[in-house]
């Protein structure tokens, strides 16, 4: 177990940006009604103009900077976590954000691809840098993914009856301070063989020249071109992992008074059924387990920050929050942090999109 307690790290802002296009589910169909009742998702925000995590991250980061009263030039490090970068390999999305914000040359960039466990993993990287590098005082942690890439075009998005996942990018600003502030505590775990249950299978191992389709662990076929884009999930395995394994780990590693120690318990927003069962298993008051699923869906690595912005913005006082994030790999982690309520920004819906392309199509 990797266990951390970071002292003198203050949380200065939380912000989230989502596409302004909203896909609402038509519940006249009994099948859709069953989906909404079980999963808890009535709509999602998803781009029909091909917004990327950089586009949304730019808006969310500017919102966070305004909340903190910081200029972009004061940032010393950007940590960017996404599984759907603008370009695969080479230059990561953190570098593009660095470019668009015109950050200092000595502002470093880390790019991560952790998936739904991004919050504790990315936070641990940022807090560690603040703790050991005297030149790093202010850090932006950015995390989010795109989902439109799994559809052929905007018409395919419109025709889809239901969606589990939505789009959003969350940002948290951290600062090293001399004063005493509540420590940020993080624990990280991994179960590598879990990749067989939830992972993204495009890449060098499954290069395009080998085959167009592959047999998956459940016996089904996976086409590496088209809507699936190599994404595989064994739903029953993942549900059991979240409901059983995560609860067992929390019980094993957290204090006996866990159910009364925190103001809120922010879990990865997989689906409402999983959230309800985790809360019941741990004996938690449902009112202390916020959900953003109804209006935003499962927003992958952005879900923790998005849920705090959606459900906790406008609350009073410092909020003692427990976070459990888990997903692809499989990886998971727990965070114990105190968030000043006044630094939480409302969610911004935006049409912002950069038109710059490194590679330009050649017209016939």
CATH of the domain at 20: 3.40.47.10
Residue at 1 is within a domain:
no
Give the chain's residues under pLDDT 70.
Answer: 1, 89-90, 192-243, 328-329, 358-360, 363-364
Considering the domain architecture, whether residues 159 and 254 belong to the same structural domain is answered as: no
Residue at 55 is within a domain:
yes
Considering the domain architecture, whether residues 37 and 168 belong to the same structural domain is answered as: yes
Q: State residue 228's pLDDT score.
A: 45
**How open is the CA angle 352-354-355, to the nearest 5 degrees?**
125
Q: How far is CA 291 from the centre of its chain?
A: 14
DSSP string over 104-129: -TT-EEEEE--GGGHHHHHHHHHHHH
Q: How far is CA 316 from the centre of its chain?
A: 25
Q: State residue 223's pLDDT score.
A: 59
- What separation in angstroms does the CA of 248 have from each of 188, 291, 324, 344? 15, 21, 12, 31
Tell me: cis bond preceding 330? Omega within 30 of 0 counts.
yes
* Pairing of the two strands 231-233 and 318-327: unpaired
Residue at 361 is within a domain:
no
Residue at 288 is within a domain:
yes
Q: State residue 260's pLDDT score.
A: 85
Q: State residue 247's pLDDT score.
A: 84
Q: State residue 317's pLDDT score.
A: 92
Q: State residue 362's pLDDT score.
A: 73
Q: State residue 198's pLDDT score.
A: 56
Dig out the tokens for 268 from the structure.
């990865």
Q: State residue 87's pLDDT score.
A: 82
Considering the domain architecture, whether residues 207 and 125 belong to the same structural domain is answered as: no
DSSP string over 296-355: H-B-GGGHHHHHHHHHTTT--SEEEEEEEEEETTTEEEEEEEEEEGGGBPPPEEE-----
What is the domain range of residue 229? 185-340
Considering the domain architecture, whether residues 218 and 160 belong to the same structural domain is answered as: no
Q: State residue 191's pLDDT score.
A: 78
Q: State residue 330's pLDDT score.
A: 80
Total domains present in the chain: 2
Considering the domain architecture, whether residues 165 and 231 belong to the same structural domain is answered as: no
Strand partners, 288: none
Considering the domain architecture, whether residues 166 and 202 belong to the same structural domain is answered as: no
């Amino acid at each position: 177990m990797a266990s951390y307690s970071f002292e003198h790290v203050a949380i200065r802002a939380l912000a989230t940006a989502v596409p302004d296009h909203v896909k609402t589910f038509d519940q006249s169909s009994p099948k859709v009604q069953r989906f909404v009742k079980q999963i808890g998702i009535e709509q999602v925000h998803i781009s029909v103009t091909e917004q990327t995590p950089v586009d949304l991250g730019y808006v969310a980061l500017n919102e966070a900077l305004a909340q903190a009263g910081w200029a972009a030039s004061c940032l010393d490090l950007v940590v960017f976590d996404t599984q759907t970068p603008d370009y695969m390999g080479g230059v990561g999305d953190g570098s593009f954000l660095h470019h668009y914000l015109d950050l200092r040359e000595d502002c470093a960039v880390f790019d991560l691809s952790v998936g739904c466990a991004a919050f504790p993993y990315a936070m641990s990287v940022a807090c560690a840098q603040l703790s050991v590098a005297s030149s790093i005082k202010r850090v932006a942690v950015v995390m989010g993914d795109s989902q439109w890439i799994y559809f052929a075009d905007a018409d395919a998005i419109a025709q889809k009856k239901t969606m589990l996942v939505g789009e959003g990018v969350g940002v948290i600003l951290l600062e090293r301070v001399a004063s005493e502030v509540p420590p940020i505590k993080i624990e990280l775990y991994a179960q590598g063989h879990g990749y067989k249950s939830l992972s993204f299978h495009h890449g060098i191992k499954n290069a395009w020249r080998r085959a167009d389709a592959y047999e998956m662990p459940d016996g089904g076929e996976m086409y590496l071109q088209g809507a699936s884009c190599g994404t595989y999930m064994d739903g029953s395995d993942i549900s059991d992992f979240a409901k059983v394994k995560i609860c067992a780990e929390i019980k094993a590693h957290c204090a006996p008074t866990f159910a009364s120690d925190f103001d809120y318990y922010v879990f990865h927003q997989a689906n409402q059924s999983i959230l309800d069962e985790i809360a019941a298993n741990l004996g938690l008051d449902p009112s202390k387990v916020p959900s953003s699923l109804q209006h935003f869906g499962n927003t992958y690595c952005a879900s923790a920050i998005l849920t705090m912005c959606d459900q906790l913005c406008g609350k009073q006082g410092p909020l003692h929050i427990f976070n459990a994030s888990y997903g692809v790999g499989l990886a998971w982690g727990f965070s114990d942090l105190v968030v000043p309520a006044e630094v939480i920004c409302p969610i911004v819906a935006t049409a912002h999109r950069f038109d710059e392309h490194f590679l330009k199509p050649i017209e016939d």
